[in-house]
Structure 1
Amino acid sequence: MTSSTWVDLPEGTLFGLANLPYGVFSREDGRRRVGVRVGDLVLDLAAAARATGADAALLEGPTLNPLLAAGRAHWSALRSALTGWLTDAAHRAAVEPQLHPLASVTLHLPFEPGDYVDFYASEHHAANLGALFRPGTEPLTPNWKHLPIGYHGRAGSLVVSGTPVVRPCGQRRAPGEPAPRFGPSLRLDIEAEVGFLVGTPSPQGSRVGLTGFADHVFGVCLVNDWSARDLQAWEYVPLGPFLGKSFATSLSPWIVPLEALEQARTAPPVRDVPLLPYLDDGAAPQWGLDLSLEVALNGSTVSRPPFAGLYWTAAQQLAHMTVNGAPLRTGDFYASGTVSGPDPETRGSLIELAWNGERPLELPDGSTRTFLEDGDEVVITATAPGADGSRIGFGEVRGRILPATAGEG
């Protein structure tokens, strides 16, 4: 049984003791502090540690990076201590004053990013895009089932949930036009994804195998990888995504630790192509995750993508990312790529939901969408199985589209 707590938690909360996600918050003084969400409260971790006589050195903020770098043993010890503080009535007098209403704090990007990599791990998403852009041919490229495809993104454009997204400008060429034009993106899209935060680094020239995943990855959050499809279509041949992706990537503010996701672990889909040994997880710990995502556009649910169906797991992605000897740094971050399921209502991007504009998405207010309009707000949420039949939450990743800024073309 999950231990009971002296904290007054809302009925059915997704942020009970089975979860305890980490974030960074500030109060009236503006100072950034490391915190943990408990129900609708945020615990000031450093203050709680000092009040209970524990070592607060890794928790003083303003980011999670010192804790991330400390490694798995420290992560487990802190989680155990947290559970004790919140269940043992002897700690209540010391800890309770360090709890603050969630509505009274400002949440920030919880870590200082190192590198950022985005993958392309959903077979359904990849097949849908292949069908859209390569009709009459095999929808998956020949390499897709042999390795997790990814690209190196722009870490400086990672922003916390709630940060407005300015419509990007760039070059775009419409079909049949002889030359590109400069202007705001006309095909601005979303991508519902899941992100993984690296804690423990690895030296250059080494590899992190499948069994090393839990020793290096601290936790999980939600991602909206905003995408300017028209900019991307013109620029990405022959190299790959660039300005069509680099203007903003939104992250949820809470990092759910891997330890909280033990009940969510599941076997990945059956692979129908033999894998090279460094990616073959048949005999290794498997890190498929049973996460249920939900995408809302202007308050209306438009998709429920299932993360469990992703072909490539986060452990395989990490193994591939380092197999050439590339080092890991504390604060490195990588995302799954768009999460899409087999059915139309489980697609994680508008380009799929509206089938590249051919089948406009109908909203309850009578309006339709093919791509995002200025003022649109997108919210992605998710839940997962927790201990003792509970469910745990990831918070939300929210973003509203602002008009493009004026400038020379």
Structure 2
Amino acid sequence: MLLTDSTHDPALTSWVESANAPGHDFPIQNLPLARLRPASGDEPWRAGVAIGDHVLDLKLALEQSPWGDGIEALLEPLAAGDAAAFMALGARAWKLVREALSMALAEGSEQAPFLELCLLEPHRLEYSLPCRIGDYTDFYTGIHHARTVGALFRPDSPLLPNYPWVPIGYHGRASSVVVEGAAVRRPCGQSKGEASEPVFGPSRRLDYELELGLWIGAGNELGERVDMAAAEARLFGLTPLNDWSARDIQAWEYQPLGPFLSKSFATSVSPWIVTFDALAPFRRPSRRPEGEPQPLPYLDSVRNRESGAIDMHVEAWLQTARMKKTREPPVRLSHANVLEAAYWTPAQLVAHHTSNGCNLQVGDLLGTGTLSGPQPGQGGSLLELSGGGKVPLQLPGGERRTFLEDGDTVTIKAYCEAPGAVRIGLGSVSGTIEAAR
């Protein structure tokens, strides 16, 4: 099945010169969306499109530039800052708007004189979540993470028997999902050490988790199952995600029902959503490792086998308070490729989530779970990198970390690159740890 079109052409360039710089996160082949407004004043929220070092204000673009038949109506919810209403229009509308924006921003476009007046500088903007998140589900697709963490607690049986069969997930807390830059308060909770009784207090084992977030763009009715053939059309796009975790609280509370307060205090996401259409050049076959069972029929399809996986790189970076003070750059803690890290594909997560008739809604968020690579140094959390807190990481300048300290800033990044395609980035999401109250 041909997934790419003219918007992915590697020869395509933009009249926005910075978008043509090699290695830029936001070339014309990308065109991610965010909800934003000028940082000064109380102007209404609107959607914007990242293009090179600028953001195209879609409210101004709709007012200032002519658009083709039917496109103006599709742009109206974005101009009004209502990303949910736009996502609810469905995959055909998403594709039409992407094509229109690509033509408008391409070198030689007749719209350039109008749209250059609608370009904003990112540092002069403030961002919000793209829409109200009705529900948040966090999955556990990272098989190397599952094996490594399992071995810390169950050395004889690190991977539970259901893992190769069931996309494991839990219901997270939507109200505490925050956007890029929001501070993360160190949580308090119960934990139990060597003493006979638990204690209550600030977490001492605060951690990050290197994840991606999947945005639901088209929901399903209660009682309706979404099969694999239709599952991916329900997904609007991807964003970097950090599932902050308090490991000491988690270790005490997670049995028998799983994590609760150890996760619900904060989840950080980037404001930018890179659409699945933009990722077409980086789609790859979904294959199980040799000796692993094949998915049950409801989690299998020809399209998923041919192009269900995504060739994407994910990274976690740390800058401590001391590093900021001495102006040292962040240090990369971990990195992985999603092809190696994720056991389940995005379509399989949607098909499984709805297999019991559960209704997903526009704007729902699905986390992939921690994406760790198979090699040392590719753990997607400090829990893995420090061997459960037993082996501190050595940082530049002599600092050490087993878990996060107050003032630490963690940044999650993601990008795609492949021969014959223009590199695109998903932007980043950062959060800084503040002291417990």
Q: Do these two structures clear the TM 0.5 threshold for a shared fold by scoring above it?
A: yes
User: Is 1:50 aligned with 2:63?
Assistant: yes
User: Is 1:25 aligned with 2:45?
Assistant: no
Match of 2:315 in 1: 294
The 8 Å contact of residues 196 and 217 in structure 1, kept in 2 or not, is answered as yes
Q: Is the alpha carbon distance of 1:283 and 1:216 closer, same or farther for their aligned partners in structure 2, counting shifts above 3 Å?
A: closer
2:243 to 204, 225, 229: 225
Q: Structure 1 residues 377-386 or 184-193, which shifts more?
A: 377-386
2:109 to 84, 89, 108: 89
2:283 and 2:154 mapped to 1: Cα distance? Answer: 34
Q: Structure 1 residues 260-269 or 197-206, which shifts more?
A: 260-269
The 8 Å contact of residues 261 and 385 in structure 1, kept in 2 or not, is answered as no
Displacement of 1:282 after TM fit?
5.2
Q: TM-score, normalised by structure 1?
A: 0.95
The 5 Å alignment of 1:180-329 reads 180-271=198-289, 272-281=292-301, 284=304, 286-298=307-319, 299-309=330-340, 310-329=342-361
Displacement of 1:382 after TM fit?
1.3
2:427 and 2:215 mapped to 1: Cα distance? Answer: 16
2:418 and 2:84 mapped to 1: Cα distance? Answer: 26
1:379 to 373, 396, 411: 411
Q: Is the alpha carbon distance of 1:315 and 1:143 closer, same or farther for their aligned partners in structure 2, counting shifts above 3 Å?
A: same
User: Is 1:3 aligned with 2:12?
Assistant: yes
1:301 and 1:178 mapped to 2: Cα distance? Answer: 39
Identity fraction in percent: 43
Match of 2:3 in 1: none
Structure 1: runs of 5 or more not aligned: none
Q: Is the partner of 2:150 in helix, strand or coil?
A: helix
1:77 and 1:282 mapped to 2: Cα distance? Answer: 26
Displacement of 1:386 after TM fit?
6.7
The 5 Å alignment of 1:83-232 reads 83-87=102-106, 88-135=108-155, 137-174=156-193, 176-232=194-250
Displacement of 1:75 after TM fit?
0.3
Q: Structure 1 residues 62-71 or 238-247, which shifts more?
A: 62-71
The 8 Å contact of residues 293 and 381 in structure 1, kept in 2 or not, is answered as yes
Displacement of 1:387 after TM fit?
8.9
1:203 and 1:283 mapped to 2: Cα distance? Answer: 24
Q: Number of aligned residue pairs: give it.
A: 403
Q: Is the partner of 1:89 in helix, strand or coil?
A: coil
Q: Structure 1 residues 302-311 or 384-393, which shifts more?
A: 384-393
2:33 and 2:54 mapped to 1: Cα distance? Answer: 12
Counterpart residue identity of residue 55, structure 2: V
Q: Is the partner of 1:183 in helix, strand or coil?
A: strand
RMSD value over aligned CA atoms? 1.5
Match of 1:362 in 2: 394
Counterpart residue identity of residue 332, structure 2: T
2:157 and 2:286 mapped to 1: Cα distance? Answer: 23
Match of 2:25 in 1: 14
Q: Is the alpha carbon distance of 1:196 and 1:162 closer, same or farther for their aligned partners in structure 2, counting shifts above 3 Å?
A: same
Structure 2: runs of 5 or more not aligned: 1-8, 67-71, 320-329
The 8 Å contact of residues 261 and 386 in structure 1, kept in 2 or not, is answered as no
Match of 1:69 in 2: 88
